[in-house]
Amino acid sequence: MTVYVAASFRARLCGLAGLSEMPPRSALLLPRCSSVHTFGMRFAIDVLFLDEKLRVIGERRAVRPGRIVRQRGARAVLESQAGVPTRPANR
């Protein structure tokens, strides 16, 4: 799987908005993030909320366009197209 990192403020703000679909077997990592929006999205996404050691502490599946999801305590977010397995093994 290819993981793209949205490191800049602009990249985190735009995220996946405007894409018609995600590239196959890819995900977007948003560091320093505990909430995401799906405004401007054209497809549902799966969202994994990660702690400071990149362990999964929450997940939201098939988040449709036009939504906001958040997780208290999250330090990063991993987004992927809904239904595509991306869950990393917890260490």
Q: Over the chain (91 residues), what is each successive 10-residue block's mean pLDDT?
A: 85 72 86 92 93 97 96 96 71 47
Contact between 33 and 69 under an 8 Å Cβ cutoff? The reply is no
Report the DSSP pairing between strands 26-31 and 2-5.
parallel
- Evaluate whether residue 14 is within a structural domain: yes
Q: Which domain holds residue 11?
A: 2-81
- Evaluate whether residue 91 is within a structural domain: no
- Evaluate whether residue 26 is within a structural domain: yes
Predicted local distance difference test score (pLDDT) of residue 91: 47
Q: What is the pLDDT of residues 28-41, one digit of tens each?
A: 999 999 999 998 88
From the CA atom positions of the chain, what is the Rg in Å? 12
Predicted local distance difference test score (pLDDT) of residue 11: 74
- Evaluate whether residue 58 is within a structural domain: yes
Number of domains in the chain: 1
- Evaluate whether residue 87 is within a structural domain: no
- Evaluate whether residue 61 is within a structural domain: yes
- Evaluate whether residue 68 is within a structural domain: yes
- Evaluate whether residue 89 is within a structural domain: no
